[in-house]
A and B are shown apart, each in its own frame.
Chain A
Amino acid sequence: MAPRRKAEAPEPVKAAPVRQSTRKRPAAKTEEHTNEADENDKAAHPSPAKRPRGRPTAAPKLQNGASQKKKSIYDVPSDDDAVGEEGSNKDKVRAEQTHVGDEEEAEEVATTPKRKVKTTTSPVKASATKNIITPSRATRFTGGETPQWRRNDRSARKKSARALIERVVAGDASDEDEQEELAQEIYDSSQDEDEEEEGLEEGAEGKTQEIDESEAAAASPSKRPRGRQKKETAPKQKGRARKKSPTPPRDLPPYELYFAQNRPGAAKTSSNTLASLELLTHEEYFSILHQHKEHHAADIEYLQSWHTESFAQWSFELSEGFSICLYGYGSKRPLLHKFAKFLYDEMPDHESSKIVIINGYVRSTSIREMLGTIASAVDPSHRLPAGNPSVMLDSLKALLSSHDVNITVIINSVDAVPLRRAGTQTILAQLASHPQIQLICSADTPDFSLLWDSGVRSAFNFVFHDCTTFAPFTVEIDVVDDVHELLGRKARRVGGKEGVTYVLRSLPENAKNLFRLLVTEVLLAIEDEGMSGGENPGVEYRILYNKAVEEFICSSEMAFRTLLKEFHDHQMITSRKDVLGTELLSLPFRREELEAILEDLMS
């Protein structure tokens, strides 16, 4: 309600000049004078000047339904007070108008319902719409077939206008653009009608002119189009321009493109979904991939061999204390593997120079493990004390200085998610700046250089080489899971049945029992509900807990949670919340797998 109140508030303000003009009128007794005054007024306020003719509705307003009164409560009190005054003013006006002809009086009464509607419509349009209504015109339509649909239409328009205003006032130009557009459309179409109506009116005007000169002067056809164009065509054009929303020109610079594509309501996509497409499973993906023959294989191979020719140069750069970063599209892992072989063959002696390969794309990669592996390459019998990575690095450095070993560290995908933390990169940079360590890494994303600030980068002392290989990322990406995650279908899990049995083997009996219980419940639920959207139906947390207690699997919720956490860590269960917020537990396996697991557990 609040926004509407605000929206209506302007009305009294607009009404003010009207009243003034009406007051002027009695002062200028003769019609000619009124005309003059009217015209003067029009010059100043083109639209309100015409209102005196429409305004008389205020009197019927009083007589009319309580709904009207309710609305006027929101108006500024002065208006309410003014109604009476206006009424009296009106009487004077009416008294004047009776000179002209009695019919007008009747017309006014007849047209009131319609006009009343008009006055209460959106204040934005109020002036424009009020322009239209001259008593004479009103006769035509009221006398004619102002049918039900027109009124309905008006109320629809009224509502849509209100919706538009509310939106503007609330200031949310958000995602529900469809609604907004609908409202805009209704509003526009009814305006079209208004225009048509107007056309008729203008035709009528010719005749009415003779009858009522003052009226004609107020709404002379010669003047009207001008005012109208200003008022109505402007918003209309805007509306149309918006509707079209042409695709932006093609060669915009990237930043312009960004703004062009991100302006509110710009993105309109169809509502097609992949529902009809059967998504790939891991098995199908790999079996098809095996059969598929890449027709660029030879070219890719050639590209790779071309890169291999710079191996000697790279090893020279490495030995001079530079680190190397390979970037460009395609997996550089095979290339780096070859380079490792190359270095290995070059090495005069495999005791004093070692190669450590780090796979940044492996999700479990941690800086501790990396440092630990490097330390074990320096001295296999040495165990780095676990702790803060920077402390580990210090002890690794100490270890290095006591051994005469050169370590070449090869990092696949230095910009992979597990290594993206700033702390990790700092450690790597310090590692690379150690004279006994050479570092060569590959970067897959185009924005990798943002990982390093100037300090880190100068510690790395990088040279960069464009190594576009076009080789597929076979190991780096878990394609199927990644795509499903991208589509919002979760499919993270431990490696199928074998993985589950492997994990369960190392867990206590209770955990096995709980998992068996969960598998049974989920299978039952699948029987009952079937699969939904590639995901198994869930079992309510509470229910599962109660059952677990019943079966003496655990005695407290604490213990129950601990067991669940173990599963969760191995990604053997999934949990989500449904609409009501109840926690649902489920298993990320297919039905056949679940059955196999259950069989395994029962035996």
Chain B
Amino acid sequence: MEGYITIDGAQTPINGCKNLLEVIRASGIELPTFCYHSELSVYGACRMCIVDIDGRGIQASCSTPPEDGMVVRTHTEQVMKIRRMALELLLANHHGNCQTCGKNTQCKLQELAQKLGVKNVRFDEVNDVLPIDDLNQSLVRDPNKCILCGDCVRMCKEVQGVGVLDFVGRGSDVRVSPAFGKNLNEVECVYCGQCASVCPTGALIIKSQTEKVWKAINDPSKTVIVQVAPAVRAAIAQSYDIAGGEHAMAKTVTALRRIGFDKVYDTSFTADLTTVEEATEFLDRVAKGEKLPQFTSCCPAWVKYAEQFYPDYLANLSSCKSPQQMFGSLAKQYFADHEGVKREDLYVVSIMPCTAKKFEATRPEFVVDGDPDINAVLSTQELISMIDEAGIRVSNLAPESMDLPFGFKTGAGIIFGTSGGVAEAVLRLASAGTSEDGKPAPTEFRDVRGLEGLKEASVTLGDRTIKLAVLSGLSNAREVLARLQSGEADYDIIEVMACRGGCIGGGGQPLPNDMAAREERKATIYDCDAILPLHNAADNPYIKECYSTLLQKPNSSIAHKLLHTGYRSRRRIEGEDLDLSETKTGEKTPVSVCIGTNCYLRGSYDTLRKLIDKAREAGLAGAIDFKATFCFEKCKASPNVQVGDTIYGGITPDKIDEFFENTIKPAAQGASDAETLEV
């Protein structure tokens, strides 16, 4: 749309803005909003951006398409009155323990109440307190501070394609909640933290681990080391207004030493290691023509997402641990072997742009004998608060360099922090030495760069063309996987990062964490890459040393042990089987009948009932351990019955007689005989 709008008397060009709010903001008037985010759908609920439009009266500007010739006033008496009333109503309903709130000084409600001059709340306080949801590692949800702007709901649904949050209830009972009032740890939350990034108040905040890190630092028996993820430096540069990511990183190294960390390392080092392992794995899969496309596995939110929604594709995920976890297992090994620090005395802290990394560190695969490879994960926000607590003025610090060997990285490791970075790092490595005419191998693959949620590229490596997709924002993963499933899409390698723009926009990054902030951080990351001497992970001398002293070669068995992992389907609600047997003694044949929806609809209740009856008739009730279970994931063959380790499909009630005689009875009799013998 082109043309002009008169805003408070001033002619303002529309300039293609998609709504009136953006035109007004472009004109220099910062209309307040709670529920408007340019990357989310228009919601129109907070009523803060209302304006008076000639001929139309009071309208929300966010949902009004701009039209040439509109005459708009943004602060008439009536408009201001409505805005103030809306704020006053929100404040009246808000648990305002501001000083101790995790969002203190960063809260939009606080800010707008101050800006719009709401000095008095004329309504009674609300006394009922809703329970706080803090049972997961990553996020704390406090419904008492929620203003129901719906930003988290739309972020989770629209951008992340997860949708664990929605509105429930009516009237003043409305609240945002996961299904059935559950907590986030009981639903499909991937802990990406994007909800907390858009939450204007303290209703969704990052769960802090600073206290336990302080405790470890102050414990003389612990050696406390820290790794810093690549994207963190871009946000630190932004927050402290320091030019250059590596410069900001170097000052942060000093700060971390002042705080008391014994060693400071760079996650970019293990990002380089990941590149080597993952590229080797990829080239191996290409050679064998199996498990393609290969998905990246650095992003823990994406991994959990795949485990929940696409378990059929888990074999396609790279088996590489994420750089955070590679660091953890490598560090624990290295310090035990070379520094004489026992595993339990080494305390490994990560500083991540991410909230899902907190969850990742607690996955049982990454815990050895009760001791996790990573002991604590701090988000960038928590790093800043530790710096603040210690009173350190980062800008004034002299830069220091990281400790070796894990503090040395190439540019390939740094660009892991942004969408396209992992793919580009792999391409740099895979294309090295492939150029035919003696030209140096390319070190830049610009097609995969940028904040767009879905990027595609083709790269010729030798005689083969590699097709790539680079995704950020998990709803894009959903879309691409749907196309893969239908056969419409065909890729060799797919990089997925849960957060839009990659880790630079992670849920642990400081606020504002909007697209403008991400754009700036992206530029910082590529600047870091540009100034580093090396750009190919394989050229990292300490990586080479790692292989020569410990790992032997990429994808070796020791590399597999330390650097690779496996995944599990989380498609089903985790719950125990229902035990239906009457007696508990003796060796029994396990028989499980699925009573999930599909099997139930095809008569599995009757199947189960008849089987129990048959067992009683045959005098074998005591020899069979009947269980009702939920889903063997073989719904097409439902109803399914598992006898011993074998699953039998199509056991409809009319086939019971035959099935019992031929399958269950012999198994049960065998067990029964064994029992008798034992007696």
Is A bound to B? no
Q: Which B residues are within 8 Å of any A CB, using their own CB? A: none
